[in-house]
């Protein structure tokens, strides 16, 4: 989308401004078309339209940032087209580009008189859409009949930052949520990630595979809102299955038994020794 501040200065006015595409990403080329109309009652000459790119993140592409026209007759219109490339390091946002328009007109003595410079602003939207991907952390192991932690990872692989990110898990059979189902992450910048932790209780008779629907909501740099629904596949195990697969450590009851025997033996030894010492003193 192109936004423009319109003012009317004597001879000419900007009738229309358009861009293709309407939104661009860093490294892309955008074509700007500015349509100018002569609203004078007579012709103008040496019309010059210039884009001032000194303080913006754009550069001319395969053309100049200035366009010329020898003459524009009264009531006529002329379209000036510019090609700009968005610099690769440009952040998403709305960028204002100053436009300078100069021309000359004849006075009653047929002398060319420079008109005051007409200054306008056009705006270009640079918007790289965030690309958020949801996945289950590899370390997640869900045991039936117990409390479990589900860790979901959100990665932004896009060029644009994501703002106001929310993740909501929907109710599903076999899982009882012990924490809030809707979690707020804040911002997830480009080439960064964040995680959401859910504490849940898994029913003892849960299916071996549970499809968990999650809804992701976020906004881009222009506050355009996105809503995406994904399905996270959860695999569940009995404690015995998880131990046999090596997903969780087996409890080593033998060690606990031996430690207990040693403790009891040491306790008996101390009691017997104490009694012998007492008996010896009494003698």
Q: Where are the domains of the chain?
A: 3-126, 132-244
Q: What is the pLDDT of residue 281?
A: 59
Q: What is the pLDDT of residue 6?
A: 39
Q: What is the pLDDT of residue 250?
A: 63
Dist CA 136 CA 172 (whole Å): 17
Dist CA 29 CA 148 (whole Å): 50
Phi/psi of residue 214, nearest 5 degrees: -130, 145
Phi/psi of residue 91, nearest 5 degrees: -80, 155
Cβ 4 vs Cβ 121: under 8 Å: yes
The CA radius of gyration of the chain, in Å to the nearest whole number, is 37
Q: What is the pLDDT of residue 63?
A: 85
Q: What is the pLDDT of residue 239?
A: 84
224-246: b (≥16 Cβ within 10 Å) or e: eeeeeeeebebebbeeeebeeee
> What is the CATH number that goes with domain 3-126?
2.60.40.10
Q: What is the pLDDT of residue 243?
A: 81
Q: Parallel, antiparallel, or unpaired: how do β-strands 29-38 and 77-86 relate?
A: antiparallel
Dist CA 199 CA 218 (whole Å): 23
Chain centroid to CA 119: how far?
A: 35
- Does the domain made of 132-244 have the CATH classification 3.40.30.10? no
Residues of the chain under the 50 pLDDT cut: 1-9, 253-254
Q: What is the pLDDT of residue 248?
A: 66
Q: What is the pLDDT of residue 160?
A: 86
Same fold, 3-126 and 132-244: yes
């Amino acid at each position: 989308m192109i936004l423009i501040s319109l003012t009317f200065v004597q001879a000419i006015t900007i009738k229309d401004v358009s861009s293709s595409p309407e939104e661009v990403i860093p490294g892309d080329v955008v074509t700007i078309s500015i349509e100018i109309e002569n609203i004078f009652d007579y012709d103008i000459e040496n019309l010059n339209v210039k884009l001032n790119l000194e303080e913006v993140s754009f550069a001319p592409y395969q053309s100049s940032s200035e366009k010329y026209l020898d003459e524009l007759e009264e009531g006529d219109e002329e379209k000036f087209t510019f090609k700009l490339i968005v610099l690769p390091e440009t952040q998403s946002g709305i960028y204002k580009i100053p436009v300078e328009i100069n021309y000359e007109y004849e006075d009653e003595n047929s002398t060319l008189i420079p008109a005051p410079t007409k200054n306008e602003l056009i705006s270009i939207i640079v918007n790289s859409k965030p690309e958020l991907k949801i996945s289950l952390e590899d370390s997640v192991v869900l045991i039936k009949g117990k409390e479990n932690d589900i860790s979901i990872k959100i990665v932004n692989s896009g060029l644009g930052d994501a703002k106001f990110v929310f993740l909501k898990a929907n109710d599903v059979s076999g899982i009882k949520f012990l924490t809030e189902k809707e979690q707020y992450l804040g911002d997830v910048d480009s080439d960064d990630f964040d995680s959401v932790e859910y504490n849940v209780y898994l029913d003892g008779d849960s299916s071996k595979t549970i499809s968990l629907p999650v809804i992701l909501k976020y906004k881009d740099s222009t506050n355009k809102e996105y809503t995406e629904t994904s399905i996270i596949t959860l695999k569940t195990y009995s404690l015995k299955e998880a131990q046999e697969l090596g997903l969780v450590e087996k409890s080593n009851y033998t060690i606990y038994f031996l430690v207990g025997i040693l403790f009891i033996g040491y306790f008996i030894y101390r009691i017997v020794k104490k009694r012998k010492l007492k008996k010896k003193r009494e003698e």
